[in-house]
Every structure is written in structure tokens, then in C-alpha cells.
Amino acid sequence: MGAYAVKRFLTILPVLVGISLLVFSFVHLIPGDPAVAMLGERATPERVAAVRAQLGLDEPLYHQYWIYLRKVLQGDLGISVIRGDPVLADLMHRFPATVELALSAILLAIVVGIPVGVVSAVWRDSVFDGLSRLVALTGVSMPIFWLGLMLAWFFGVELGWLPTGFRLDTDVTVRPVTNLYLLDSLLAGDARAFLSSLRHLVLPAVALGTIPLAIIARMTRASLLEVLSQEYIRTAEAKGAPQRTVVLHHAMRNALLPILTVTGLQVGHLLAGAILTETIFSWPGIGLWVYEAIQARDYPIVQGATLFIGTVFVLVNLCTDLLYAAVDPRVAYD
């Protein structure tokens, strides 16, 4: 297992280098002078020169990449042109909000999606199976911005049950420890802050988790149906094993690899920052931060966030590969 983990880690290093090259090329793909594009055409020559020097645009291209790579390896993702703050510091401040939202969404998708997929596979072609497939198809096809707006309008505006923006009520504060408000409020024993953060989390988590839920449910059904058609399953049923044992003990474990694959991909997508969901619900995570940076043409933020998002996605896929080996030891030997 250890050798397999090292081997898989070494294979992602070229991918990370490729991501850094793409992110570095981002600024140079901007038409015209990137410094002028960031500051606007009315910027003074002195300000333009200062930004060019800050970004290293006055150096040869190969030297620029080396400087950029060296800074990244030192944890320096640059300075925000608009705010003047280190990009990495802002990133670390906002990332926990995205983690809290993404983990809530994927937890909802797993807790609901896998049981629905299992029941659909066991009761194949039943009314429940047909209805669940219809709902899953609708969930995959539904634009997330429309769903988010409808949830905010119906449950927030019309019914007034849930808040439609931000992470806490205005009169509630949480002492930050991890910046995961649910966890921090529990650590502080503050029930009011916990309920407030939970209420604010419900609508964006449901909106963000709908598509992963539908995908996981469909993959669980398809994978389990394939396993249930195998000879050893029919043998277990012929020996009189209870259906619960056949499905959960024999079939489900062998159906897990495709489910793990699609779940890992969805976690990577969600942790990368759901720009639409965070923008609709004013959720102060990476997605909203990048959206505001794009509007302001603050390209150091966009560069740093893109590099970080790509790295997170690759690391999540690595963890998924390692889970393969934990679920099926034959993977490590292969």
C-alpha cells in the first residue's frame, strides 16, 4: 500500500507542473499589456510600470516562469492588485467557507444518493425505480443557477423559512478557530450560532448537492445492477443467503469502485469552488472571491485561485486512488 501511494504521488508531479505552466500562461494570453488590462486605460505610466515589475513582466519569458515557480514553491501566490493583500492569505481565509459548503453538499449527495441507487437497483423497473431515474435525470439536467434562485425565492422570500445569503445572521458572531462555522460553534458550545450557521447553509448546500446527488444515485444503480448479474451473486442467492446480505455484503463492496470514482470527481469539483452557488447566495468562499476578482480584473487572485483549485482537484483524485487500494487490495498490486 505504501509503495502504491508513493507511485501514485509521483505520477501527479508532472500534472502539477503542467497546471503551473497553464496558470503562468494565463496572464500572457491577455490581449495587449496585462498591466494595462488590470489597471484600466487611464492608469498612470508609473502605476503600470509598478504592476509590470510586481508581476515580473519586464523579464524574459523563461525567467518569468522560473521566478513564478520559485515563488509558488515558497507559498507566494502574489499580491492582489486591487486590495494589496497577499493572495495566499485571502485564499486561506476564504477556503474554509468553500470546504464547509462543499462537504455539506457531498454529504447530502452520498447519504441520499447511494441508498436511492441501491433501492432502485434491487427493485429494478418498479415505480420507485422509474421515479428515481426521472428525478435523477431532472437533477443532472437542471441549471444550478436556476435551481439556486428558485430555492432562494420559494423558501427564503415566499415562505421566509430560511435565509438566502451569507453564513450567519447579522447579530450572531462565531469565534474563528477553523473558520468552519458549524464546527467552531460546536467547539464554543454556542447553540445559537450553530443553528444560525446551519440555517444559512441549507439552501446553498441543497442547490450545490443536487447534481452530485443525481450522478451518484445513477452510478450506484448502474454499478450495482452490473454486479447483481454476476454468477457468484446468483450462487449466494441459490444457497439461501438473505437478500440484505447478498446486496450489502457481497454485491455492494464490489460495486464501490465506480461509485468512489464519481464521488471523488464530484468532491474535487465542489471543493474547487462553486462560483454560481456562492454568488447566488453571497457565500464568502473561493467561488465568490474569484467572481469578484474577474469583474475587477484582479488577475493575481485569478491566477492564484486557479493554481490552488487545480492542485486541490489533483490531490482529491489522488486520495480517491488510494481509497481504491483500501477497498480492493488488487489495485495496489496492479
pLDDT higher than threshold 90 for residue 273: no
Work out the pLDDT band at 232, boundaries 50, 70, 90: confident
What's the pLDDT at 114? 92
3-state per-residue secondary structure call for 187-214 = HHCCHHHHHHHHHHHHHHHHHHHHHHHH
For 79, which DSSP code? B
> Nearest-CA neighbor of 298 among 79, 94, 30, 88?
79
The per-residue pLDDT for range 61-105, each reduced to its tens digit, is: 788 888 888 888 888 888 887 777 889 989 988 999 999 999 999
Q: pLDDT tens, 24-38? A: 887 777 676 677 777
Whether 39 and 81 have beta carbons less than 8 Å apart is answered as yes
- Tell how far CA 189 is from the center of its chain: 29
pTM for the full predicted model: 0.85
- What are the φ/ψ torsions at residue 79 (nearest 5 degrees)? -120, 135
CATH 1.10.3720.10 residue ranges in the chain? Answer: 91-333
Distance from chain centroid for Cα 142: 18
Residue 242: φ, ψ to 5°: -60, 150
Assess contact for 98 and 313: CB atoms under 8 A: no
Q: Three cell numbers at 313?
A: 482537484
CA distance 36 to 43: 7
pLDDT at 276: 85
Q: Give the cell for residue 322.
A: 488510494
Cell triple for residue 255? 460495486
User: Does position 334 have pLDDT exceeding 60, yes or no?
Assistant: no
- Phi first, then psi: give them for residue 86, nearest 5 degrees: -60, 135
Residue type, 76: D
Tally of CB atoms within 10 A around 11: 11
Give how far the C-alpha of residue 155 lies from the chain's centroid of Cα atoms, to the nearest Å. 25
User: Per residue in 149-198, pLDDT tens?
Assistant: 999 999 989 998 999 888 888 888 888 888 899 999 999 888 999 999 99
| CATH code, 91-333 | 1.10.3720.10
Q: What is the residue whose three cell numbers read 470546504?
A: 99
DSSP state of 59: S
Structural contact between residues 236 and 246, judged by C-beta atoms closer than 8 angstroms: yes
